[in-house]
Chains A and B, each alone.
Chain A
Amino acid sequence: MSLFPETLRLDLGIYVERFVKWLTVNYGDVFEAISNGVLAFLLQIEKLLMWVPWWMVLGIVFIVGWRTKNTRSGFTFAVLLFLIGTFGYWKLMMMTLAIVLTSVVFSLLIGVPIGILMAYNVRVSVVIKPILDAMQTMPSFVYLIPAIMLFGMGKVPGVFATTIYAVPPVIRLTRLGIHRVPKEMVEAAHSYGSSFWQTLIKVELPQALPTIMTGINQTTMMALSMVVVTSMIGVKGLGDEVLIGINRLDIGRGFNSGISIVFMAIIIDRVSQGIASRFKYPE
Chain B
Amino acid sequence: MTVKVKVENLYKIFGRNSKAVLKKVKNGVSKEKIFKENGHTVGVNDASFEVNEGEMFVIMGLSGSGKSTLIRCLNLLNKVTDGKIYVDGENVVEYNKAQLREYRQKKVGMVFQHFGLFTHRTVLDNVAYGLEIKGISREKRYKIAKKTLDTVGLDGWADSYPNELSGGMQQRVGLARALANDPDILLMDEPFSALDPLIRREMQQELLDLQSDLKKTIIFITHDINEAFKLGDRVAIMKDGIIEQIGMPDEILANPINEYVQNFVQDIDRTKILQARNVMFKPSSIISMKDGPKIAIKEMEQSGISSVFVVDKDRKLQGIVTIDDAIKAVKENRKLKDILIHDYHTTNPDTYLQDLIPYATEGKYPIAVLDENERLQGIIVRVSVLSSLVS
Given A192-B109, A192-B130, A194-B133: A185 and B118 within 8 A (CB)?
Answer: yes
CB distance from B126 to the nearest CB of A (A): 9
- B152-176 CB mask vs A (1 if < 8 Å, else 0) is 0000000001011000000000000
Alpha-carbon gap, A198 to B336, bound state (A): 78
Chain B residues within 8 Å of A121, by CB: none
Q: Judging by beta carbons under 8 Å apart, are A203 and B116 in contact?
A: no
Alpha-carbon gap, A260 to B117, bound state (A): 46
Q: Judging by beta carbons under 8 Å apart, are B105 and A193 in contact?
A: yes
Q: Does B214 lie at the interface of the complex (its beta carbon under 8 Å from any beta carbon of A)? A: no
Given A187-B77, A207-B119: A192 and B112 within 8 A (CB)?
Answer: no
Interface of B is mostly: mixed
Alpha-carbon gap, A281 to B119, bound state (A): 7
Residue in contact with B116 in the complex, picked from A188, A198, A202, A209, CB distance below 8 Å: A188
Q: Does B251 lie at the interface of the complex (its beta carbon under 8 Å from any beta carbon of A)? A: no
Q: Does B142 lie at the interface of the complex (its beta carbon under 8 Å from any beta carbon of A)? A: no
Chain A residues within 8 Å of B110, by CB: 188, 191
Q: Which of B100, B106, B121 has the most CB of A within 10 A?
A: B121
Chain A residues within 8 Å of B121, by CB: 206
Q: Judging by beta carbons under 8 Å apart, are A202 and B112 in contact?
A: no
Q: Judging by beta carbons under 8 Å apart, are B101 and A195 in contact?
A: yes
Q: Judging by beta carbons under 8 Å apart, are B112 and A184 in contact?
A: yes
Size of the chain A interface, CB-CB below 8 angstroms = 21
Q: Judging by beta carbons under 8 Å apart, are B114 and A282 in contact?
A: no
Residue in contact with A188 in the complex, picked from B112, B120, B163, CB distance below 8 Å: B112
Residue in contact with B161 in the complex, picked from A185, A190, A281, CB distance below 8 Å: A281
Q: Does B104 lie at the interface of the complex (its beta carbon under 8 Å from any beta carbon of A)? A: yes
Chain B residues within 8 Å of A188, by CB: 110, 112, 116-118, 177
Chain A residues within 8 Å of B177, by CB: 188, 192
Alpha-carbon gap, A202 to B181, bound state (A): 17
Q: Does B103 lie at the interface of the complex (its beta carbon under 8 Å from any beta carbon of A)? A: yes
Q: Does B296 lie at the interface of the complex (its beta carbon under 8 Å from any beta carbon of A)? A: no
Chain A residues within 8 Å of B77, by CB: 187, 190-191
Q: Does A6 lie at the interface of the complex (its beta carbon under 8 Å from any beta carbon of B)? A: no
Q: Does A5 lie at the interface of the complex (its beta carbon under 8 Å from any beta carbon of B)? A: no
Name 21 interchain pairs, CB-CB below 8 A, sorted by A: A182-B114, A184-B113, A184-B115, A184-B116, A187-B77, A188-B117, A188-B118, A188-B177, A190-B77, A190-B104, A191-B75, A191-B108, A193-B103, A193-B133, A193-B134, A202-B118, A207-B118, A281-B120, A282-B119, A282-B161, A282-B163
| 12 further A-B pairs in the complex, CB-CB below 8 A; given A182-B114, A188-B117, A193-B104 | A184-B112, A185-B119, A188-B118, A191-B108, A193-B100, A194-B101, A194-B133, A202-B129, A202-B133, A206-B120, A206-B121, A207-B120
Smallest CB-CB A-B distances: 3 pairs? A193-B105, A193-B104, A188-B116
State the A residues within 8 Å of B (CB). Answer: 182, 184-185, 187-195, 198, 202-203, 206-207, 209, 281-283
